[in-house]
Amino acid sequence: MPVDARRTISDLQQLRALTADDHGAQRIAWSATWLKARAWFQGLLSELPVEHHLDAAGNSWTTLPGESDRSLILGSHLDSVPNGGWLDGCLGVLASFEVLRAIAEDFHGKPPITIRLVDWADEEGARFGRSLFGSSAFAGTHTIPADRGRTDRDGIRLEEALRQCQIEVERIGDAAAERGQAGAYLELHIEQGPVLEAMQLPLGVVLGTKGVERHAITFHGQEAHSGSTPMAVRRDALAAAAKLALEIRPIARKHPDAVATMGSVKTFPGIVTAVVGRCETTLDMRDLDAGVLASMLAEARAASERFAAEEGCTVEWSRIWSIEPIPFDPRLIEFCDQAVRETAGKSHQLPSGPLHDAAEVARAGIPVVMMFTQSLAGLSHNPAENTRIEHLELAVEAFDRLARKTMHWLNV
């Protein structure tokens, strides 16, 4: 029997009613509202012949045992940013639930392979600044020494917040045991960007997650009085930074999917009557091709040094964070493309700029693909985040098709 996509939409609406306030979704990981969302979700499972448990990193696993221990994992995350939308993360969890339910019915509770549903813990990293928390523990790429002492705005340590959810930070690596005989991981997510909408397509196939280079770049010039310092003798740190803010754009535009963003500029002393003596900026560059990303970074660095020299300044770089590009599995990309075509007539393949738990799963060596559904106006992490109901319905149907194709492949 086919999936009932309207049920997924009704579930999403229920979850919104339960966990959003006037400012949007409030399912911040490790919070009471997040735990409430998870308890509600567990309630949905009660009529299914499934086993449920939390792993050592707080990921929530629901297993429908099959004839074989080989498993297909479906999932996403229930946690949200503060004042978030009604779809980011939970669409993937609730669509996976609907697919799991349909498979359980179709195979009278015993499919040929094991089907698992995962709700990853703390994808967003909204409270402690550590995103992909649970999936990185699963993948063995977790970073306990760096994360243990992280604190939230109230000074509460990550370690303490986890302990209140019965998670011991030192043991989160044990989540790797969940990999078992996983044969594939599939994730449905909203695009969170404007590409599919601009192409008037409801669905897309994700080629992988872009590599990210994230740097803090500080220009040092000379603070000076805005009234008494002639233009010719200024060493204006803002001027060097402004040149870089503009130059990163042609650097990115040389490549079809590359992006480069200066998201933060801080000026010191930062008053109307002083030439800027120090300018702190951030740079975020992304591309699916590691070579392209490396060359963009090198070009930006060279440009920053040239601009610093032109303005009598110096420049200093420090890496905030980086991750390599993570391409998804070619066979699964092909299945996903077929499923999208069969459901919506037309497909489009695109890289994901935002990171997702799927990237961590791929790092564990498990074949992975993601499906995107259109986001209206590209908005996400925002209560205005939205997708047309008919597109959500197509997404659940196409995701079901993808799961069936993958199940069949794993069973051969």
Is 235 within 8 Å of 259 (Cβ atoms)? Answer: no
Q: Which is nearer to a second copy, 176 or 245 (CB)?
A: 245
Q: Which is nearer to a second copy, 238 or 340 (CB)?
A: 238
**Residue that has been written with the tokens 């791929």 in this structure:** 362
Is 114 within 8 Å of 89 (Cβ atoms)? Answer: no
Q: Which amino acid is residue 44, in one-letter code? A: L
Q: Which is nearer to a second copy, 223 or 305 (CB)?
A: 223
- Minimum Å gap between C-beta 377 and a second copy is 9
**CA 109, CA 64: separation in Å to the nearest integer?**
7
- Minimum Å gap between C-beta 288 and a second copy is 11
Nearest Cα neighbor of 25 from 388, 373, 384, 396 is 384
**CA 26, CA 383: separation in Å to the nearest integer?**
10
Q: Which is nearer to a second copy, 14 or 226 (CB)?
A: 226
- Minimum Å gap between C-beta 29 and a second copy is 18
Residues in the site for a second copy, rule: CB under 8 A?
191-195, 198, 210, 212, 214, 224-233, 238-239, 241-243, 245-246, 249, 252-253, 257-267, 269-276, 279, 282-284, 286, 320, 352-355, 378, 380-381
Q: Which is nearer to a second copy, 223 or 342 (CB)?
A: 223
- Minimum Å gap between C-beta 224 and a second copy is 6
Is 353 within 8 Å of 206 (Cβ atoms)? Answer: no
- Minimum Å gap between C-beta 344 and a second copy is 20
- Minimum Å gap between C-beta 85 and a second copy is 12
Nearest Cα neighbor of 8 from 101, 126, 116, 70 is 101
Q: Which is nearer to a second copy, 200 or 228 (CB)?
A: 228
**CA 135, CA 92: separation in Å to the nearest integer?**
15
Is 66 within 8 Å of 114 (Cβ atoms)? Answer: yes
**Phi/psi at 166 (5° precision):** 65, 30
